[in-house]
Amino acid sequence: MDITKLSRTELDEIFGDFLEGILILAADFNILYFNRSYGNFTGLDLDRAKGKPLLEFRPGAKAPGVLLTQKPIHGELRKEKEEEYFVNIYPLYEKGRLTGAISVVTYLRDAKFLRDRVQELERKQRILDDLMRERNGTRYTFADILAESESSRDAVWKARKAAASDISILLEGESGTGKEVFAQAIHNESPRSSNPFVVINCGALSSSLLESELFGYEEGSFTGGKKGGKAGLFEAANNGTIFLDEISEMEFPLQVKLLRVLQEQSVRRLGSVKEIPINARVICACNVDLLRHVLDGKFRKDLYYRIAVLHFHIPALRERKRDIIPLVELYIRRYEQKYHTKVTMTERARDCFMAYEWPGNIRELKNAVEYALFMLTDNTIDLNALPSSLQGLTGAGQTVIEPLGPRMRRMEREFIQKVLDRFGRTVDGKKKAAAALGISLATLYNKLGEK
């Protein structure tokens, strides 16, 4: 379409309400059209200026030069009447023949307004995204997964690729590597993202209780059941995703029932003969080699191949060393934003973070950084601010690896003792310490082993 052939009415319909100033020149350098915004800025009247050379009214105009050179101008910053503006000028062609030029003027005040407006809209969109994730039971997306090392980037790539499909996924990795974060990210990038994300830890419940939670039950199925019965988690996850964590801990009889649900795409509540259709994507996770469990007779082979259509390993933190310092810095930045302060870290502390083996993976790293941020002096993380398990590690590593459970409990007690050093060990001091830690006073006493 050759816009130089359009009438003023037609051009007004297109450009009349633009915030940007629009000027159209004919190939002979004469004014064909400009919109209201351009006229207000220049003080020109289109009835008086149309058909006349632009340079007669604006001696420094750049558009005639574009017609001569047929080379566009992009983003040139100019100033006129104390008003700053950007101008883009493009030659116009019709079937290879030069027909004119169009000048688009963006006033800096409008650009700033649009920038602020875009930032505000982005802020509101983030809030809406957060609300939607809260409503569907999630917190994380792929934007929350920091992946600098090759192994972690490969895991993210596989997860993103899997998100678009409905295939069942098995995530394997040590405790604390972020398997549920990956599962939530996959859900939130899938077509099911607006629907529920339901989580259950298969190792945290007895087999009978896990069965009733997964499949639901009818009233009177067993003593203590709810009046009216209860829908199961597969029903709750309908059209969404169900995440079965620690699937390796599920007992054999329940594995048979789960396999049937996955094959038939329906559930039967305990005490019922009615089949309820379900449409839930299944993502499973475990911290063992599940195929080895199959070979050892600890997990059903047919169920394994049903849930592990795609399976991949989420690397331990010691296998992705390049991620350690970026993760530390990420947690520090969050602290800085929350408390409006600036924190530095010494090279000695940085070396300790890198030398440690991190048996608790990202979860342990996050705890260690939070400990250091609470214990820092002069807004600097040095060796004396680190948990004792890290102090003294400068590259040689650790000769004795303490089991994860005792290590985490010891670190927790040490941290609580440091907090009590700050607030005091009176009842009032313990109340303040519990509040600072975000736990109840009773929990504080339990963690200290006090009655």
Nearest to 278 by CA among 321, 238, 219, 232: 238
pLDDT at residue 119, as a whole number: 61
The pLDDT score that the predictor gives to residue 289 is 92
Q: Which CATH superfamily hosts domain 142-315?
A: P-loop containing nucleotide triphosphate hydrolases (3.40.50.300)
CATH 3.40.50.300 boundaries in the chain: 142-315
- Cα–Cα distance measured from residue 387 to residue 369, given in angstroms and rounded to the nearest whole number: 9
Beta strands at 281-286 and 241-245: parallel, antiparallel or unpaired = parallel
pLDDT reported for residue 279: 95
The lowest-confidence range among 16-20, 49-53, 62-66, 224-228 is: 224-228
**Is residue 334 predicted with pLDDT exceeding 60?**
yes
Question: 3-110 belongs to which CATH class?
Answer: alpha beta
pLDDT digits (tens, 9 = 90+) for 132-166: 445 566 788 898 899 989 889 999 999 999 999 99
Phi-psi region of 192 (alpha: psi -120 to 50; beta: other; left: phi over 0): alpha
pLDDT grade, residue 1 (50/70/90)? low
Q: What residues does 92 pair with on adjacent strands? A: 100
Cα dihedral 180, 185, 186, 188 sign: positive
Indicate whether 323 pLDDT > 90. Answer: yes
Q: How confident is the model at residue 246 (pLDDT cuts 50, 70, 90)?
A: very high
Return the exposure string of 27-41: e unless at least 16 CB atoms fall within 10 Å of the residue's CB, then b.
Answer: eebebbbbbebbeeb
pLDDT (tens digit per residue) in 166-214: 999 999 999 999 999 999 999 999 999 889 999 999 988 888 899 999 9
What is the rounded distance in angstroms from the CA atom of residue 347 to the CA atom of residue 343?
13
Q: Is 402 a residue whose pLDDT tops 90? A: no
The pLDDT value given to residue 117 = 57
Q: Please, what is the average pLDDT of the chain? A: 85
User: Please, what is the angle between helix 347-355 and helix 324-339, to 10°?
Assistant: 130
- 68-92 pLDDT, tens digit per residue, is 988 888 877 777 766 777 788 999 9
- Flag whether pLDDT at 238 surpasses 60: yes
The dihedrals phi and psi of 173, each to the nearest 5 degrees, come to 175, 160
- Does domain 320-448 fall into CATH 1.10.8.60? yes
Chain centroid to CA 94:
47
Q: How confident is the model at residue 361 (pLDDT cuts 50, 70, 90)?
A: very high
Q: What are the start and end residues of each CATH 1.10.8.60 domain in the chain?
A: 320-448
Residue 200, token pair as written in the block: 């259950």
Q: Is a pLDDT exceeding 80 seen at residue 223? A: no
CATH 3.30.450.20 intervals, the chain: 3-110
Residue 400: pLDDT over 50: no
Residue 395 pLDDT level (bands cut at 50, 70, 90):
very low
User: ∠ CA(136), CA(171), CA(201), 5° rounding?
Assistant: 60
> Nearest Cα to 43, choosing from 59, 64, 31, 58?
58
